[in-house]
Structure 1
Amino acid sequence: MSAVRIEAIHATPGYSGFFFDDQRAIKEGAVQDGFTYDGTPVTDGFDEIRQAGETLIVDVELADGSVHRGDCAAVQYSGAGGRDPLFRAAEYAPVVEGPVAEELVGREASEFLANADLLEDGEFDGDRLHTAIRYGVSQALLAAAAHDAGTTRTDVLADELGTEPATEPVPVFGQSGDDRYVNTEKMFVKGVPVLPHGLINSVEKIGEDGETLLEYVEWLTERSQELGPEGYEPRFHIDVYGMIGEIFGAPYDRDEVVDYFGALEDAAAPYPIQIEGPMDVGAREAQIEAMIELREGLADAGVGVDIVADEWCNTFEDVRAFVDRGAADVVQIKTPDLGGIHRSGQAVRYCEGTDTRAYLGGTCNETETSARACSHVALATGAAQVLAKPGMGFDEGYMIVENEMRRAVARRTREQRPTSADEVTADD
C-alpha cells in the first residue's frame, strides 16, 4: 500500500473542557464569587482571574480524503510555574494554517515521529511553537499515521517508542474539583482505582494547621468502605497545590512536617496515599531540593506517604531532572506542557528502571479529543496511572478515558495488529 500524504491542515478556534485560572491571583487571596473570582489578575495575558478555556481544533486532511483531528489545549493554570503563556486560540490559528501547514503539507502521514519532531524542534518566525500547538497538531498527526497504517494509535506509539503495550486499561485517576464530596462518592460507586485529587488550593480547604485535610482523608477512608464495590482497594491521591508548604514552611524534614504526613498516612489506612505538590518554592532547582528534603525526612521516620511532583515539573527536561535527582515517588507528566504528544510517551519511558512512577496527567482544561489521544499514550507506555479528563464533573472525563482504553485493548485483542486500513475509522 502506497503511503498517503498530508494534503492540508485546518485550524478552528473552539472551547475546552474547563477554564483558565490565574493561579497566582488565587494563591494571593482572590475571593471566590460564585463560580468566578473577584479581583484583578496578576499573570500576563489574563483579562479576568477565571476566564473561558479555549482550544484550537486541528484537522489534518490526507490525500485519500480522510480527515484526522487533534485539539490544541493548555493547562488550567497557564502562565504559572514556568509554563508557556495563556493560550489564545484565535491568535494561533494563522500559525497552524500558515507556517505549520507549510512544513507538513506533502509529507507522508506514516512518518509520525519525524513529523511531530519537526514541530517540536523547529523554530517558526524565530520562535519555538507554543506547547499547545505542538500538543494538538501531534495528536492529529498520530491519528493520521494510525489511519495510514491500518492500526491503532496505541500501536503507532508503541512502534515509535519501542514499547510493549499494556493488555489491560491503565488505572484511571479521577478528579473531583471543588465538589470533593459528591464527586468522590461517584468515584467510589464506580470503583475508580485512584482518587480524588481534591483541589486543595487554599488555606481554607486544608485548614490553618492542616486539620481540614486530615478530616477529609478520614472521610475518604470511611466512605470508600461504605460505597465501594466488593474488594475495592483505592489509592488516594490528593493535590495540595503547595499548601502544606504554605502552612508549615521549611525545613520540610523537621518533626512537625513529618508528623503531619504520618497523620495523613494513618487517616488513609489501610489504603495508600500520595500527596501532589506539597510545596511550591518558586523555581525548579529549589523545588527539587525541597522535595528531596521532605522525602528523606519521611523515609527516616518510616512514613509511607508518596510524594508527587507537579509544580516546576513541566517539560521533558524538567521530568528528567526530577527523576534523576530522586525528588519524587511519582512524577506528573502534564501532557499539554510537554508539547508533542510523543514527548509525553518519551517522558513515561524515562521513568522505566527508576524508583519514580509515571503519572500521565494533563488538565481539566483539555477536550475529549486530547483525552482520547492520551489514553493511547498510557496504553502504549504502561504508565502507572492516567488522568480522567477533561472537565471537573468527573463522570464525563472518566467515561472518555476509561472507555477509550477498553475499546483499544479489545480491538487489539480481536485483530492482533490489523493490516487492512479499510477497518479503521477516523476515531482510531
Structure 2
Amino acid sequence: MLTKRALPLLTLLTASAALAQDAKPVLDTGDTAWMIVAAALVLFMTPGLAFFYGGLTNSRSVLNTMMMSFVSIGLVFVLWMVGGYSIAFTENNPFFGNLSAFGFNGLAGELSGTIPAYVFAAFQAMFAIIALALISGAVIERMRFGAFILFGALWSLLLYSPLAHMVWGPGGFLLTLGALDFAGGTVIHIAAGISALVAALVLGPRLGAGRVAHAPHNVPFVLIGAAILWFGWIGFNAGSALGANQTAALAFITTCAATAAAMLTWLFWESARGGKPTAVGAATGLVVGLVAITPACGFVSPWASLVVGALGATASFWVVQAKSALKADDALDVFACHGVAGIVGALLTGAFAWTTGSGKPFWEQMGIQALAILIAVVLTGAGTFILLKLVGLVIPLRVTASQEVSGIDIASHAEQGYTDGETGLSTPVMIGD
C-alpha cells in the first residue's frame, strides 16, 4: 500500500513520464562523439579489406584488387548522398523509401535519436561502402575495372539500399515482420556473399583455375588487413547501438568473444585435418567470426556469442573445403566467409536472442530469420545476375586473356604494385607467383 508520503512522488514521476513521451529528442554530445568515432572506424575497415584482399591475390594484380575497395569508398559515398540514403531510410512503402532526402536534403539541424541526422547518414554510408567492396574478392584478377564500377553503382542503389530499407528503414517489410539484424548480417554479409557467388559464376573461372595454384603473395598484408578489420568492426557492431550505452557495451564484448572463438576454431580444424595452423587461417577465422556475430551482437549474451563464433567458423571452414563443388571460382571465398557465416549468424540470432530477452520464442524467431535470409538471397542473387548481364551489354565484364595472364594492374591502372624504384620494372616476388 502507498503511504501518504509516497503519493506526491508517484504523481511527480507519472507527470514526468508523460512529459518525456511528448518531448522532442535531445542532442546527446556523448552519443554524437561516439558515433563520429564509430563511423570513422567503419570507414577504416574498407582500406583494411584492401590489405586483406590484396595480400591474398597475386603480385601482378594487387593494385587492381586494392583499388576495387578504394574506389568503392568514393563511388558509394556519392551515390549514398545522392539517393541511396533516401531509398533506405525515408518512409514510403515496405520495400522502398522515397527520394525526399535526395542529396541529404532536409537533414541539416535534424536528429536521428540523440545524434545529428548527418552523423547517422554518414555512419550508414560506411556500411554501404564495405558491402560493395566485399563482393570484389570473388571477381579479382579478371573483371574489368570499369565494369566493376558500373555494376557497383547499380548494385548499391538498386539492391543494397532497398534491402537496407526492408531491414532497418521506417515501415520496412522485414523490420515490421520482426527480423533481427543488429549490424548488417543480412543487409551486408548475406547480400555480398550471395552476390559474390553469382558474380563468380557469371564471369567464369580465372585462367588455370583448378590446375594452377593461386597462393597469397603477401601474408603480412593479410594479417594487417585482418587486424584493421577487427579494430574497425568495433565501430561497425558497437556503433549500431547508435549511442554510448549498455547495448553498445554488449555488442563490443560479444564481438570480441565470437571473433576469438572463431579464430581458434578455424585453427583447430586446420590442425585436425592433418595440416598446420596457418597465419592465413587465423586471419580468415577471425573475419568469419566477425561476420557471424554481426547480426547477433546486440541481441545475445556473451556466452552465446562464443557458440555463434565457433559454429560460424565451422560452417565456413567446411564450405571452403568443398569449394570445388560450387563450380564457381569465388577467388577469395567471399560466399563461404561472408554468405555462409552471415546465414549461420542470422539463424543463431534467432536461436539465442532469448538469452538477453531480445526476441520471441526461439522457434518463432528462427522462422522469421529464415524468411529474411530467403528474401535476401533471392533479391540479391537474381538482382546481381540481371545487373551483370546488363553491364555486359555496355562493357565487357572480363579483361582479355593476355591481360589476365600478365596481371591486370598495368592494363587497368598503368601501374605496378612492385617495382625496382628506378627503371619501373617489376621486382620479382617469389611467394605465390
Q: Do these two structures clear the TM 0.5 threshold for a shared fold by scoring above it?
A: no
Structure with the greater alpha carbon radius of gyration: 2
User: Structure 1 length normalisation: TM-score?
Assistant: 0.29
User: Structure 2 length normalisation: TM-score?
Assistant: 0.28
The structure carrying a bigger helix percent of its residues is 2
The structure carrying a bigger strand percent of its residues is 1
The higher-RCO structure (CA 8 Å, 6+ apart) is 2
